[in-house]
Amino acid sequence: MDLARSITARQRLAILILVLIAILFAPSGQARDDEKLHSGIDLAAEIALLVRLQYVDPVRVTDLLSAYMVTDTIEGMLESLGDQYTRYLDPGAYKAYTEDVEGTYSGIGIHVGLLNGRATVVAPMPDTPAKRAGLASGDVIMAIDGKSTENMSLEEAVSLMKGPEGTRVVLTIQREGEELRDVEIVRAVITVPVVESEMVEEGIGYLRIITFSADTADQVHRALEDLRSQGAEGLVLDLRWNGGGLFDQSILVASMFVGEGPIVHRVGRGGVKNTHMRSTEVPTYDIPLVVLVNQWSASSAEILAGALKDSGRAPLVGTKTFGKGVVQGVFPLGNGGALSVTTDRYLTAAERSIHGEGIVPDYIVELPEPGEPAESEELGPFDSGEEDALDQPESAEPDSTTPEATEDPDGADEAVETQIEVLEDVVVEDTQLLKALEVLRSMLAGGELDELSEAS
């Protein structure tokens, strides 16, 4: 109780000092709106206090507030930490984040990317308003409700296409070789599939986890049961381009394959370690499996891959993973926004730190023409740049952001074009999948895992 009073007093003092400094040293002749000024300072103080209480390393509130006064921005204050994963989510970004976590949103149901400066359809999702309206890969969105998309950011385009269920949006579409046309689409609630599965050959199933949202473990469980009913005796688990997601979901999925022992270790302030063991909430599958990873497998995907590798449960095939070994918590703020703040570092099951290092697969296999993911978004959950939430009672807590897609506009264009070509059945040999199948066949034939662990 004394600590709470002390913290409150410090917060009030900090706000008072900030108000006085801001008023005294505001540029002469510059009009300031008092309400806006006080609102900004209140927010800065609230965030500084949260960082002081929650950040993985000790931080002085005075240092944070000094950075705020120098930069006059929340972003500048947080940048002083030197931690790209601790950041402020304004109310709009926080709303999008909560939609990401829930795995549903209201919109039209397409994957879009930026191509030549305009929003372009990468693919419509199955059984969605966009699919029923006839949108196809490669369609260029020239305008949204009459507003030109020229030089429009992807975020703005996505925001304009989202809206309440039952409302209408008009897209002006340019399809190659055809005239411009307007397509009116009625928005609906979209549930984004995060798991894909199929039998790739007799006895071998393929399961891809796109991201870890609120029901990923349930979707994985259903997919495994379906594959087993089709006679799957071995499994390829694809975590490529999976930038993370809900921390607790990665624990649940790992628990389906790891019979016993730790899944991951979290290390908080002062080196306090919290070990997450296998969850008993899910069934265990002893099916032989091989895991696919690449440089865009990050965060929760690395937790799963690390648990399977360290436990000896599965070999990894592909390229070294991204290397994000820190965990964020997301804490709501009084203005409707939220603070994503690094609360822990994590170690794999074998207590290895992979932050900045990544996980090296047992078989290093490059794709014939490796390309980075485009600057693209689903119209809804996971936008490949947001948080991964942890299961904590006081807050939705993520384990982090994914790697940036690409900062090179030309590279982004090329990557979007590549995605569209693949979706238009331009077949590129997936050497990583082929290697995974080769390894899995050998395992099913009785090959020893240790004999299969030379990189190739």
Beta carbons of 230 and 199 less than 8 angstroms apart: yes
- What is the token pair recorded at 114? 């930026």
Which residue ranges make up each domain of the chain?
2-82, 104-191, 195-452
Beta-sheet strands, E only, within 349-456: 363-364, 376-378, 390-392, 395-397
Residue 127 a catalytic site member: no
User: Average pLDDT over the chain, rounded to whole?
Assistant: 81
Residue 36 a catalytic site member: no
User: How much is the pTM?
Assistant: 0.72
Set 100, 139, 248, 310: catalytic member: 310
Q: What is the pLDDT of residue 4?
A: 41
Choosing among 3.40.50.720, 2.30.42.10, 3.40.50.1820, 3.40.640.10, the CATH entry for 104-191 is 2.30.42.10
The CATH code belonging to domain 195-452 is 3.90.226.10
Nearest alpha carbon to residue 364 among 313, 450, 294: 294
Set 139, 162, 255, 324: catalytic member: 324
pLDDT per residue as tens digits for the range 161-219:
999 999 999 999 999 999 999 999 999 999 888 899 999 999 999 999 988 988 899 99
Set 250, 299, 340, 384: catalytic member: 299
Q: Lowest mean pLDDT of 20-24, 136-140, 281-285, 394-398, name the range.
A: 394-398
Task: Decide whether 104-191 matches 195-452 in CATH topology.
Answer: no
Please work out, in degrees rounded to the nearest 5, the angle formed at the alpha carbon of residue 230 by the alpha carbons of 226 and 236: 75
Cα 249 to Cα 101, 141, 246, 417, distances in angstroms: 11, 35, 5, 32
What DSSP state is assigned to residue 218? H
Beta carbons of 257 and 203 less than 8 angstroms apart: no
Residue 299 a catalytic site member: yes
Q: Lowest mean pLDDT of 37-51, 257-271, 430-444, name the range.
A: 37-51
